[in-house]
Structure 1
Amino acid sequence: MSLESELNLNEHTFTCHHGPNECRGNKIQACALRLIDAGQNTEGLGFNKIATGFINCLMDKADREKGYFPTMDCAQINHVANLNTIDNCVNHTDASNYLSKFGELTDKLQKPLQSVPTIVFNNVYNKEDSDLAQINFVRALCKHIPGDKPECIKSGAGILQMSFVVVAVSIILSKFFS
């Protein structure tokens, strides 16, 4: 069953901690996560590299107080081919439905969300792991990698490069619900 067939046509109402501009930004992110390459993981990474790059760009360059989100610039930088579809989604009930679905996923991990960012390994929230990951991500990640732990820490440089993307995704998703 596709996500579209699971969605209802009713618009959900959200109240965001930082006001309506934050809610709009969250809807942009929800539509991007769902619609860029149809929400598929890319390159076997476990996440959509284009969507993650697009959202990281938005988070970096947005003026949330003014409600400015440089979607066109970020789409060009990250080679997003379907920006018009994303823009249409943001102004449609689909955006609130997608955002609601992401909220349901977050609730399954931790309800209510206790902190931003919340870092999750293997789809299981553990406060100690999340706290450690914010201080030393490689050490937290190594706890969840099978095999020789000293080797994991020695190869931390390669893991660290990949970990920044994983942290970015965690932060992005947790910002939906702050």
Structure 2
Amino acid sequence: MTADMKFARLLVVFLLYLPVQRSDGRSHPKPSCPYPPSQWCRSLEIAIECKVQKQCMELNATKPLSAAPPVEVTLYYESLCPGCRAFITQQLFPTWTMLQDIMTVNLVPYGNAKELPSANSPFTCQHGEPECQGNMIEACIIHLAGHSAFQVVYCMESSANVLNAAQPCLQLYAPAVSWSSVDSCVKGEMGFKLMHNNAIMTRALSPAHTHVPWVTFNGEYTDENQDRAMSSLFHLVCQLYKGGKPPACTGALVKLDRSVC
């Protein structure tokens, strides 16, 4: 259990039992925070909204300095590509869930799309117009939802219908981001700007990508790492991290609470 997880559990207890004084002199339970405990200390804005900034500052002050930079994993993908969806749901998200203290994830939805000199339809996608729409929706969510974006994208990609899942997934994992803001991004200039930037990033790959999913580590691509990422991304990230290995990587026994049901 990481320090963040331990602290989140303490915050849950703290917020559940902290009373708030009403105007009539009586107390009632503190209103619940719209974010899950694991996100309370992810940003200053969330800490303020959940009224735990003091506790988060104390937690950060007690954290040991990182011995090495995290492994930067960048995924170039398409929203409706079956192979990309499988990699996100079976490799990337589970690995990040376990190793987010030693890795960062960048998502670039574009893949094998083509940018066209047309004002009405500036992009064409391998799996048709719905994929272009999915790519832009996810690009806008990544832009607007910040640290919660990966969870939203995972929720979408693991659903039976990626596009239909966008709004409920956003509401579930990034409740502070309104669907109207995403819709405005998709239909406005920002969406096209984000996709143009993704096109530039994808075209700049060296070597040039030949398929998706295409994965780089710390900005570099090798066939060996690509093959290993497809079969066991978890072990690859553990190996690439240069700092002290977390217990999940070493297989070291961790003493957990012995509460049972």
Global fold match (TM > 0.5): yes
Contact 1:36 / 1:80 at 8 angstroms: preserved in 2? no
TM-score, normalised relative to structure 2:
0.45
How far off its partner does 1:72 sit? 2.4
Question: 1:131 corresponds to which residue?
Answer: 227
RMSD: 2.9
- Evaluate the alpha carbon distance shift between residue 13 and residue 86 of structure 1 in structure 2; reply closer, same or farther with a 3 A threshold: same
Question: 2:140 corresponds to which residue?
Answer: 31
Contact 2:149 / 2:174 at 8 angstroms: preserved in 1? no
**Percent identical:** 26
How far off its partner does 1:86 sit? 0.8
Aligned equivalent of 1:69, options 160, 164, 167: 164
Aligned equivalent of 2:149, options 51, 56, 78: 51
Count residues with an aligned counterpart. Answer: 134
Runs of at least 5 residues in structure 1 that lack an aligned partner in the other structure = 1-9, 38-47, 159-178
Question: 1:78 corresponds to which residue?
Answer: 173
2:122 counterpart of 1:20 = no
Deviations 1:74-109 (A, max 9, x none): 122113322211111111132121011022222333
Question: 2:205 corresponds to which residue?
Answer: 109
How far off its partner does 1:26 sit? 0.4
Question: More helix by proportion, 1 or 2?
Answer: 1
Question: 1:99 corresponds to which residue?
Answer: 195
How far off its partner does 1:134 sit? 0.9
Question: 1:172 corresponds to which residue?
Answer: none
Deviations 1:23-55 (A, max 9, x none): 000010111111224xxxxxxxxxx2x111111
TM-score, normalised relative to structure 1:
0.63
- Evaluate the alpha carbon distance shift between residue 129 and residue 111 of structure 1 in structure 2; reply closer, same or farther with a 3 A threshold: closer
Question: 1:120 corresponds to which residue?
Answer: 216
